Structure 1
Amino acid sequence: MAIQSQSTVSLPTLVTQSTQSLLNRRVSTEDSLYHICLTVRKRLELLPQIKPYLNLAHSSSELSSERQALLLSQKQQLNQQHHRSVGSQTSSVSNGNGTKQGSDRRISALSTNSYSDEQDTSNLSIEETVVTFSMGILPISMDCDPVTQLSHLFQQGSPLCIIFNAVKPQFKLPVVSSDDLKICKKSIYDFILACKKYFTFSDEELFTISDVFSNATDHFIKVLDVVITLLDSAPQVFPQVPVEEVKWSNTDQGKIVREFVETERKYVYDLEILNEYRNQLLQRGIISSEELYMLFPNLNDIIDFQRRFLISLEINGQVEPFKQRIGALFMHSKHFFKLYEPWSIGQTAAIDFISSSFDKMQRSDFVIANKLELQSFLLKPVQRLCKYPLLLRELLQQSNNTANCKELELAWDISKSIARNINENQRRTENHEVVKKLYDRVVNWKGYRIAKFGELLYFDKVSISTGNPNETEHDFEVYLFEKIIILFSEVVQKKGNSISLKKKSSSASASTLHLSVNGIGSSSPSGSSGEPKLDLRGRIMIVNLNKITPIDSRCLNIIWESPKEQGNFVLKFKNEETRDSWSSSLQVLLRQVRSESLKSNNSNSDRSSLSSNNYFPHNSMNSLNSNQNRRISDVLPRFHTHQSFENEYRSISENYRASIPETTLLVRISFQNDFYTVLVEINSGIENLLQIIKRKLTHAGTITKIKYQDEDGDYVMLESEDDWSVVKDMLRESSDRILNVWAYS
């Protein structure tokens, strides 16, 4: 970086200025790379010798802009061809006749489809479609951007020598104009050596030859810093030129574009602050490289992209509204917003790390010296991505141009999808932490294993009732997993209140399921996290959902049904938005269950065979009262879908029961309307148990799965050591050494 006190491009290290003032600092055109380059170009135009080189740089940068537009157009065509040929390609591949071309896997720079979650195997290389320092395509009235023009000017080599000679005429460098790359590089090399010798630049403040020809904005800024330092050292040759303020339109659309550009400038400035702080941490070696990436993932790439994005916004702000292509800018840039995914996923971990480790990251000369302000800076990227849909919506509402409206509509869809994806990433990350804490908060999991619930989708404190106005609502912590809905209540002093959830038996006789609810208001035992302990009160399997219906403004009625029973309950949420999120997620899960059920039906003869094979492995909404262990079977007649063992119990005499060795279990197997018994050592593993059962039934058929009936009356697969451990714990608690299982071929 060049002499910092004179540079207007590189972010200075601000020691005396507070971080709070950095956050609130108004960013103007003087901080914009686009306007800085406009000003430098005007200063250079004051030197007659350099004008021909500026004209040549303008022509070459105009050519680069046309090339970029052509690349984007080609990618658009490739993308459209790919979407049209998806069906035929799939058919060809299935017949072994087709291969997928690599070009079809490349990023589509201009797509009429909105941003989606589909996997893109392309990388996010800027160089693939961006050969200028602006994103996308220019408005039709703009030939090139000034940043690219100056970059091409410096690449000629000889203009740098002319600048040096104007500043230091007593130490003139040879000026050799040529389009030969070697001669251009020789001129650049001479310039670098002269700056080091006569301006006492350090190696860190100077640039390299490869920096001049690089397409990265960081490298260009290093070159620009040195050039500005030379210009400022000779004000009589290169007098200061005031930065022209943009003349914004006074229309509503003009005001929105102005807000768009000015807030984008501030955002890029904040990213620069964050990057400066990151570099300070890196130079001091205060934290590891892994911790640096966790705090600032993809920061360099994000800044490079956002600088180009801002340059394009600045250009669009210079032209009439009907010529603006802000919508197209989002369409061209949509894949680069995926750079933010690691940022959104790791933000919670970053904030936690700052909370615990900021003391070692704090120095008086650092650009950020406050923990809360660093957290504020880290939130900026996600906040900005969520701001784009609002700005685009306002712009779309004010746009009267038909072509622009179409682009803005697509851009709005893209920005909303980006914001949704960012929010979804954060929600999933937060949910993983919630599940970790939940595991320790629950007093007794009743034999359930949280690892088998699938991913946690939503959780909230919800009021639950049956929908009967005469019955009282009670609050539960409700967790929606992919496979199950679980209800918890806080562990508090008991006051005997109760709630009844209306339920009908399969025979349509009325009955009531009671969930005993502890009183509210007493102090709650807390877990290690400081949150209250929870008691598992009830659950409903997703496979048993029947119908989900939004009612009123905040309520969701859920009807469930299993082969043994059915019923309903009403969830009352804090607001309509939360209710709709739960409803949408439950509807998706319900469709998945029905789709799987349809596939299962196609592989079985009829519905009755599904029932006899226990398609629904769990009953629906069981009470798990910690005092009485009350179950649905306690308040409803049980309608078994399996043959009962009750009558067979009589055939086992008390003498025979007593004769079973203490180290042995008697396993009674129901298979194809017949019963078999085997003795198994309690300490044997699950593999040994399954082998013994299969050997016993070899003559009767091949066994593919085995289920047992748990203490709640549910039929659970017996297939792992964990399952086997739960079974043994259940028998130990009941002091029973007889296990009833069902085998299926």
Structure 2
Amino acid sequence: MDKLGNYCDPIWDDDGIVASTSALKMEEPEFETGDGKNFNRSKMNVIEKLDRIVHELVETETVFVKDLENLIRTYVQPLQVQLFLPPNDVNRLAASCASMLNFQKEFLEELQEASSPCSELEDDDGRAWSNRAGTRFPFRSAENLKYAILRISCVFCNAAAKFKKYSPYCAIYLHIQTVLKIDQNLVLQKFLHSLNIKREHSETFESYLIKPVQRILRYPLFLKEISSLCSSPAMMQALTKCQQQQRENNNQFYKYLLNKIKNACEKMEKVAEYINEMQRIYEQYGHLFDQAQCLYKSLR
């Protein structure tokens, strides 16, 4: 009763992926680098665009991990010490954030390794893929880039089921927002402001809280754009532009690459659908969960 997640446990299929629920509704974001710098993609060829997306994915993942660390250190830990909020709610938030941070650190390391020109990764089919070309990132060639994209797709396929670690956080995210009632609590507002009085971080507590939800919804968008570019005639031509025998091998590899990207996309879309569904459930029935929790506590 003291964990909302118990009411909304996901249903996982045989592959460990949450079953599809409602239709996913997401707006295409404006991709940019982690430092906020924009660039003109219209002047890039397909290899340069793919190269840039891989760089964005890893760079923004690095920023996200730092954001989680800032959320915990700057806001969550101090709130555990003070008595502004119900201790049970804050402790649940802290536990969810800690679990996410540990997972995202491992996930970031895997993405960094997968995007390295000299890395090797075994996918969920038991195949090991590596590229020993020795070039440095950015890749700038289809031959170097294709292995990185395959390994990144494998990372998402292997990690998709592990994103269920987001379930407790998403289950309490809207609940925490309701409990906080920051706009109605001047004392709490003052306390949160004091935690960042030197403006070391431009983000507010509320903006930090929503970042995990935003991040997990962006993964399918990254993968969709990668899939779209890899499916383009220009990319296929770049991958198969070689001698006849090698061209035949590359054609087989190209088909496997597209299938792996599609598989990664589908798995992460299911995860994103579940996140949306969890929020919808709480928006509709959250007040009933809260009432049931209060009633349970009164009977203990």
Tell me the equivalent position of 1:389: 220
* Alignment counterpart, residue 398 of structure 1, candidates 229, 234, 243: 229
- Amino acid in the other structure paired with 2:187: D
Post-superposition offset of 1:404: 2.5
Paired residues for 1:288-437 under 5 Å:
288-319=86-117, 320-324=144-148, 325-355=151-181, 356-357=184-185, 359-360=187-188, 362=191, 365-367=194-196, 373-399=204-230, 400=236, 401-433=254-286
Where in structure 2 are there 5+ consecutive unaligned residues? Answer: 1-11, 21-45, 118-143, 231-235, 237-253, 290-300
8 Å CA contact 2:53–2:226 kept in 1: the answer is yes
Q: Is the 8 A contact 1:392 1:412 kept in 2?
A: yes
- 1:270 maps to 67
Given the alignment of the two structures, is residue 115 of structure 1 paired with residue 17 of structure 2, yes or no? yes
Task: After TM superposition, give the deviation of residue 275 of structure 1 in Å.
Answer: 1.1
Q: Is the 8 A contact 1:341 1:422 kept in 2?
A: yes
Q: Secondary structure at the match of 1:415?
A: helix
State the Cα distance separating 1:294 from its structure 2 match: 4.2
The structure, 1 or 2, with the larger RCO (C-alpha pairs under 8 Å, 6+ apart) is 2
What is the alpha-carbon distance in structure 1 between the residues aligned to residue 194 and residue 285 of structure 2? 37
Task: Map Cα deviations across residues 488-532 of structure 1 (whole Å, 9 max, x no partner).
Answer: xxxxxxxxxxxxxxxxxxxxxxxxxxxxxxxxxxxxxxxxxxxxx
Q: Provide the rounded CA distance (Å) in 2 between the counterparts of 1:423 and 1:258.
A: 27
CA drift of 1:305 comes to 0.7
User: SS state of the match for residue 204, structure 2?
Assistant: helix
Contact 2:175–2:286 under 8 Å retained in 1: no
Measure how far apart 1:363 and its partner are.
Answer: 5.2
CA RMSD of aligned residues (A): 3.2
Cα distance in 2, alignment partners of residues 257 and 289 from structure 1: 41
Secondary structure of the corresponding residue to residue 318 of structure 1: coil
Please say if residues 344 and 425 of structure 1, whose CA atoms lie closer than 8 Å, have aligned partners that are also in contact: yes
* TM-score normalized with structure 1 length: 0.24
How many Å separate the matches in 2 of 1:424 and 1:380?
A: 17
The alpha carbon displacement at 1:367 in A equals 4.0
Q: Matched residue pairs, number?
A: 196
Deviation at 1:280, TM superposition (A): 2.5
Deviation at 1:340, TM superposition (A): 0.7
Q: Distance in 2 between matches of 1:310 and 1:419?
A: 19
Aligned pair in 2 of structure 1 residues 332, 270: CA closer, same or farther (>3 Å)?
Answer: same
Contact in 2 for aligned 1:114/1:413 (Cα 8 Å): no
* One-letter code aligned to 1:412: C
TM-score scaled by length of structure 2: 0.57
Question: 2:233 matched to which residue of 1?
Answer: none
The letter for the 2-side match of 1:255 is R
Shift of residue 286, structure 1, vs aligned partner: 5.4
From the two aligned structures, give the one with the greater helix fraction. 2
Q: Distance in 1 between matches of 2:268 and 2:186?
A: 33
| Secondary structure class of the residue paired with 2:195 | coil
What letter is aligned with 1:298?
Answer: S
Partner of residue 224, structure 1: none
Question: Which digits, 9 at most, give the CA deviation of each residue in 1:451-494, with x for residues without a partner?
Answer: xxxxxxxxxxxxxxxxxxxxxxxxxxxxxxxxxxxxxxxxxxxx
Judge conservation of contact 1:392–1:408 (CA < 8 Å) in 2. yes
- Map of 1:87-486 to 2, 5 A cutoff? 115-117=17-19, 251-276=48-73, 277-284=75-82, 287-319=85-117, 320-324=144-148, 325-355=151-181, 356-357=184-185, 359-360=187-188, 362=191, 365-367=194-196, 373-399=204-230, 400=236, 401-433=254-286
Larger Rg: 1
The answer to whether the 8 A contact 1:254-1:321 is kept is yes
Residue 408 of structure 1: how far off its partner (Å): 1.3
Deviations 1:240-292 (A, max 9, x none): xxxxxxxxx96111111011111111111110111102222334565454121
